[in-house]
């Protein structure tokens, strides 16, 4: 097992990784920008190295600085968390070239799944159903031709990225030239690659993803599905597991399909295979080759520490469990809490003047906040994740309402009030929502 792991990230996920390492007897190295000198993971780590000024490009994306920090601290492995360099195949390769273990999949798998067009082709080859779509495009005439074959409406997506950047919905041939130009421009700015592709735009789908775990000995298991349909501008707001939209037969079938595909790929580590679910059918959309923000809800219903398992398989250990060994118990929901205005969604950085987390049976808070901490304006606004578990979905909802009432974050504005409205909404309580529901809910509230 590794003796020392460098955590190449910040915020709640850096603290989450540190905790898993400490429970495994592994020493930690925190890297940080000057803006994060007082961050909780920096204060708790065995060693800390400043790697640059506040700008992420000069710190958390500064590969030479991170490698230098790893070398001077004699680090065995680097855990990238999520975001930043977690799905950067070049970084993964550089880490390996320096004799350090990258806690994640191989560079080849990161590269394959990072190219959405190649990922679609690989998914098809492994027997997964995909949304009707096109190859890579740059020409409007080509795009119109493929759109007519697929059938309007279609959605333009960046082949090199996700997160809503480079996405444009096109409802007619007349809209295609402007939409294509906009999508390519956004894709180029965000990912350095202006290639895009088309997919059939499903009007009322759910976003369903399957958590997988694989070792280097050919063992693969899935840890159930998560419903991530509550989204704003393609960014997830709240997730739950199991999905209220699926029955046991559907989830078993989907889990088996995904496990076979991951085994066929020879994948290593944790990963998430994402689908759109519409009218009883599943369609592969992408695979994330990293730990997900919403991984805690899977941990709550399985009792499996995903970060610990990431570290174990990266060190060459076998999973130690088969699919039959995994038991799914109860229901779990995660609320992503951001330092944003709950109505305008404008960022709200600043000093936390008072901080109190909810507690009790089945309540978990993943956050690096503390009273007096200053939330910097330079990074993603996610500041906490409130996770609750119950034996039933209704018990889980009641517990979530109570926990949200108890949660105090003063000095900055947060999205806690939005989550309080969501858990009181009849559609949400009944599980009757899709990926467009939240934006419609927000528009109606204005």
Active site residues: 290
Q: C-alpha distances in angstroms, 301 versus 161, 361, 391, 393?
A: 30, 14, 9, 12
Is the Cβ–Cβ distance between 354 and 408 less than 8 Å? Answer: yes
Q: What is the DSSP string of 128-148?
A: --B-SB-S-B--HHHHHHHHH
Give whole-number Cα distances, 154 to 55, 144, 201, 275, 343, in Å. 36, 10, 4, 17, 29
Q: Which residues pair with 385 in a beta bridge?
A: 336, 366
Question: How open is the CA angle 379-384-385, to the nearest 5 degrees?
Answer: 125
**Chain CA centroid to CA 22, Å:** 23
Contact yes or no for 5/78 (Cβ under 8 A): yes
Q: How many CB atoms lie within 10 A of CB 178?
A: 12
> DSSP labels for 68-116?
HHHHHTT-SEEE--SSTTTT-HHHHHHHHHTT-EESSS-HHHHHHHHSH
Residue 322 buriedness (CB in 10 A; 0-12 / 13-18 / 19+): exposed
Find the helix or strand (DSSP H, E) in which 4 lies.
strand 4-7
Cα end-to-end distance, the chain, whole Å: 54
């Amino acid at each position: 097992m590794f003796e020392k792991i460098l955590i190449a990230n910040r915020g709640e996920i850096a603290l989450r990784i540190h905790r898993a390492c400490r429970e495994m007897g592994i020493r930690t190295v925190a890297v940080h920008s000057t803006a994060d000198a007082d961050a909780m993971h920096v204060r708790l780590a065995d060693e800390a190295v400043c790697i640059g000024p506040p700008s992420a490009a000069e710190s958390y994306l500064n590969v030479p600085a991170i490698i230098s920090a790893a070398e001077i601290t004699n680090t065995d492995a680097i855990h990238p968390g999520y975001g930043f360099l977690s799905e950067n195949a070049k970084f993964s390769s550089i880490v390996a070239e320096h004799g350090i273990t990258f806690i994640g999949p191989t560079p080849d798998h990161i590269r394959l799944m990072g190219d959405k067009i190649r990922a679609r082709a690989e998914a098809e080859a492994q027997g997964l159903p995909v949304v009707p779509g096109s190859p890579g495009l740059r020409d409007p005439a080509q795009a119109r031709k493929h759109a007519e074959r697929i059938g309007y409406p279609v959605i333009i997506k960046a082949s090199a990225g996700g997160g809503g950047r480079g996405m444009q919905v096109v409802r007619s041939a007349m809209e295609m030239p402007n939409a294509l130009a906009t999508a390519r421009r956004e894709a180029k700015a965000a990912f350095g690659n202006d290639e895009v592709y088309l997919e059939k735009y499903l009007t009322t789908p759910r976003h369903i993803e399957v958590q997988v775990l694989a070792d280097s000995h050919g063992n693969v298991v899935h840890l159930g599905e998560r419903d991530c349909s509550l989204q704003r501008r393609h960014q997830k707001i709240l997730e739950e597991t199991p999905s209220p939209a699926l029955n046991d037969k559907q989830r078993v079938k989907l889990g088996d399909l995904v496990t076979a595909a991951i085994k066929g790929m020879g994948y290593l580590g944790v990963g998430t295979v994402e689908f759109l679910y519409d009218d009883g059918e599943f369609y592969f959309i992408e695979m994330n080759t990293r730990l997900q923000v919403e991984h805690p809800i899977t941990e709550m219903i399985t009792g499996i520490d995903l970060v610990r398992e990431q570290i174990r398989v990266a060190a060459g250990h076998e999973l130690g469990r088969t699919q039959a060994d995994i038991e799914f118990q109860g229901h779990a929901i995660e609320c992503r809490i951001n330092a944003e205005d709950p109505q305008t969604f404008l960022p709200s950085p600043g000093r936390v003047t008072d901080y109190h987390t909810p507690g009790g049976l089945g309540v978990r808070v993943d956050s690096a906040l503390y009273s007096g901490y200053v939330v910097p304006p330079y990074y993603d606004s996610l500041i906490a994740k409130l996770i609750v578990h119950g034996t039933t979905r209704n018990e889980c909802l009641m517990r979530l309402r109570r926990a949200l009432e108890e949660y105090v974050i003063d000095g900055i504005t947060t999205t806690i009030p939005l989550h309080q409205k969501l858990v009181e909404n009849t559609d949400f309580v009944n599980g009757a929502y899709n990926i467009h529901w939240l934006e419609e809910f927000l528009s109606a509230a204005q």
